[in-house]
Amino acid sequence: MTDRERVQLLQGTLDLVVLQTLALGSLHGHGIATSIQRTTEDELLVDHGSLYPALQRLERARLITSEWGISENNRRARYYTLTRTGRKRLVAETQRWEATVRVISRVLKPRSAT
């Protein structure tokens, strides 16, 4: 799949995706990246690098925390965990996202809505 065919991430949705990914448990940066790739079956265009500014942003907002740990193949890696606030935010953001999608879909396909 070439980059052109991949879906560009909407502004601000990367945060939501990262939060959802961490909802299942702590992960390091590479783990998050592969997890996103796997769940979206490689259809989402995410530069792995762009995760890191997002992670820092979320940590500064206290939605996630991080600490150094040892990875599955014995390497030092920083693990990120969802906080309680992060979990609440995830629920709220998910609802909002769904609402947005519903509305936008109705606009884009008016006939199926009637």
Partner 1 sequence: MNIPRWLRWRSHTELDEEVAAHLEMEVQAQVDLGLTLDDARRAARRRFGNPAVVKQQARENDPLFAFESLIMDVRHSVRSLRRSPGFTIAAVLTLAVSIGATTAIFSVVDGVLLRPMPFPDPDRLVRVTLHTRPQANATVEMPFAELGFFHFVANNRTFARVGGVSIFAGTNGNDEWALTGSGAPYPLAVARMTAGAFAVLGMAPQVGRFFTEAEDRPGGPPVFLMSDALWRSMFNASPSIVGRTVQVNGAPWEVIGVMPASFKFPQAEVDVWIPFQLDPTSRNVNRPSIGLIARLAPGATVESATSDAERLVAGFAAIGYPLNWTRDIITGKAHVRTVKDDVVGRSRQPLLVLLGTMAFVLLIGCSNVANLFQVRAEARAVDAAVRVALGSGRRRVVQLLLTEGLIVALAGGVGGVALAYGSLRGVIALAPASIPRLDEIGLNLTVLVFTAMISLTAGVLFAVLPALRTRTSRVLTSLRAGRSGSTGRERQVVRRGLVVAQVALALALFVGSTLMVRSFAALSAIDPGFDPSRVLTFRVAPGATRYPDGEDVARFYDTLLESVRAIPGVVTAGAASFLPMTGGIGGLGGPFLGTEIEDAPLEPGARAPNSVFRRATPGYFETMGIRLIEGRTFINDDHQRRLGSAIISQSLKNKYWPRSSALGKKVTVVATGAPARVVGVVADVHDTAPDAPVEPVVYKPMLDERGGSIRAMAVTVRTDRDPLAVLPEIRRTIAAADPNLPLSDIQTLQTVLGASMSRTSFTMTVLVLAAGIALFLGAVGIYGVMAYGVAQRTDEIGLRQALGADRASVFRLILVDGLRMDALGIVAGITASLGLGQALSSLLYGVSPYDGATLALAAITFLAVGALASALPVLRAVHISPAVALRRD
* Residue 71 binds partner 1 (CB under 8 A): yes
Q: How far is CA 17 from the centre of its chain?
A: 2
Segment near partner 1 (CB under 8 A); pick from 11-19, 23-31, 82-90, 94-102: 23-31
User: Nearest to residue 32, comparing CAs of 48, 13, 8, 10?
Assistant: 48
CB of 76 to partner 1, least distance (A): 7
Report yes or no: 57 and 35 within 8 Å, Cβ to Cβ: no
* Residue 102 binds partner 1 (CB under 8 A): no
Start-end of H helices in 49-83: 51-60
Binds partner 1 (CB under 8 A): choice among 8, 13, 39, 56: 56
User: Nearest to residue 20, comparing CAs of 86, 66, 102?
Assistant: 86
Binds partner 1 (CB under 8 A): choice among 6, 20, 40, 57: 57
Cα Rg, the chain, nearest whole Å:
16
* Residue 75 binds partner 1 (CB under 8 A): yes
Widest distance between CA atoms in the chain: 57
* Residue 98 binds partner 1 (CB under 8 A): no
Count of residues near partner 1 by CB under 8 A: 20
Residues that bind partner 1 (CB under 8 A): 28-30, 33-34, 47-50, 52-53, 56-57, 60, 71, 73, 75-78
